[in-house]
Amino acid sequence: MKTKMMFPAILVVMLLMTGLSHAHTPLCSCYDNGDGTITCEGGFSDGSSAAGVEMRVEDKNEKVLLKGKMDEDSEYTFEKPAGAYKVVFDAGEGHVIEVDGKEIVE
């Protein structure tokens, strides 16, 4: 009887471990090109491309100033806005990174 009850528990643990092995953490870094533009590079910890991932540039009130997507090289370049801003890498729930404009340097 104990053996029958252990099988479902072992199956659940195996399924959880399989799901965790497929998890990946989003990565995004941005730098100032020195010519009035900013470039952000993205990807995932498992080596997956970020091509097509939504990118937003928002002001301090979270108003969207610019919107685009990572290109085929997992990069997004935009003109540096005046004033305070942040860059949002949005690959879906649990995969969002915000980069404060104050942290972006040459």
Q: Is residue 11 part of a domain?
A: no
Q: How far apart (Å, rounded) are the C-alpha atoms in residues 1 and 52? A: 51
Tally the domains of the chain: 1
> What CATH number does the domain containing 67 carry?
2.60.40.1930
pLDDT at 63: 97
pLDDT tens digits along 46-59: 999 999 999 999 99
Tell me the pLDDT of the chain averaged across its residues.
84
Tell me which DSSP letter residue 85 carries: E
Residue 74 lies in a domain: yes
- In-domain check, residue 41: yes
Its domain, for residue 44, covers: 25-103
Nearest alpha-carbon partner for 87 in 36, 38, 26: 38
Count of positions (residues) in the chain: 106
Distance CA 53, CA 43 (A): 9
Asked, for residue 73, whether it belongs to a domain, the answer is yes
- 8, part of any domain: no
- pTM comes to 0.77
Q: Give tens-digit pLDDT for 10-49.
A: 433 343 443 444 558 999 999 999 999 999 999 999 999 9
